[in-house]
Structure 1
């Protein structure tokens, strides 16, 4: 028995070392995100996937909730899984679950997203009721099950159940997902409707106002402009054909989403430096 245990430890160390040495990168092309909101009774947990690449992605996901009893060290794990297809720049809610808001046990929430070859491409993790001295066996088991390098849980990754986990450090009131319209023709209005439908379905929910405006151009033509916070991201000459307007709306949504992604990336770089 001792020999087998020793062999298991050596094998586990080898797997961990190999995983670390390859330096696998997560959330580069497909980003996994755990969103949490709370009320008086429950914490609602939602897994979200964002396709940051320019190609359609066929994916599967596993959203795990691992509860560790603080009294007897027993662990209970609940998985929700499924398959999705994400268009370029599309963001989609994957699955939702809840836990009691007054939970006292340590709870690990782990979202893993796999590509078509079953490689992990997206990963996010949140720990509720985390403490530095807490036993990490539950997290270690789930990481081992999915061939992930075992990483220490830092306090920055932890969220405490008795805090408002949906604040994310924001102050005051923030309006998001707003699209304004100032069109002059039926083609302009049709474009606005197509854009807004696509924008809403992808759950982009940008933090800046998106404006759709139409202006008179040369001759009898009109030009449609799409701006984010007064920054021009896309413009084109209007035509009444549905297929043309739909293709322009698709491109405009991709451009707007890319604009918001660059904003978030630049904000993270500023915070890092």
Structure 2
């Protein structure tokens, strides 16, 4: 069996920046075991798989995302990469792409300047004392953390961008939390806010650019800064830029995408 595969750098206009994602369009679903094995073989933070739905369905495609270790309920950069493939490689001529996912309906549209806009859910955060394991993993962690029930992430708000860039957490300690990961964020110097994301629970020490965490970051910073339109930078080594807007119970997350390669996978 031969399956097409694409690789796209998401949330960047420059090759070798942003977050690389593998994208595999399918005629029908492979087994979960096979998709997880493919994600592990690809060895990227996420591999997206999608299947075309019937014309009378409320969505156009059913999408799923796998890290090298688990299936995740929501992924921004691999959705962005999938949309780029659908628009540019699969001949999609409609304005929007509608996805069915584990996190409900999602959609992507393309702007006149070539950016792709994700329509994602708004995730609430809950303030709570910072878990001991996070305090042990990250020297100087603030006493209060924020928990994101929808995806089990914790979020720490630091003083400034320099503090976010300097973070070097003990990944082994973070993995012991038993959740998905840890977001660290702060006001930006040349943008509204910055972030980094560590996800050892998903088999990823640090994710280069993570669209899904902005479902929680955007409503948090929109309230703090008193504005609904925000520019965000994820300040990992590869880095990426996101244009975001809070829209009630939804969040728009926009980014660029850069094509890297295409090929085929030969399965037994």
Query: TM-score normalised to the size of structure 2?
Result: 0.27
Greater gyration radius: 1
- Higher RCO, Cα 8 Å, sep 6+: 2
Q: Which has the higher helix share?
A: 1
Normalised TM-score (structure 1): 0.26
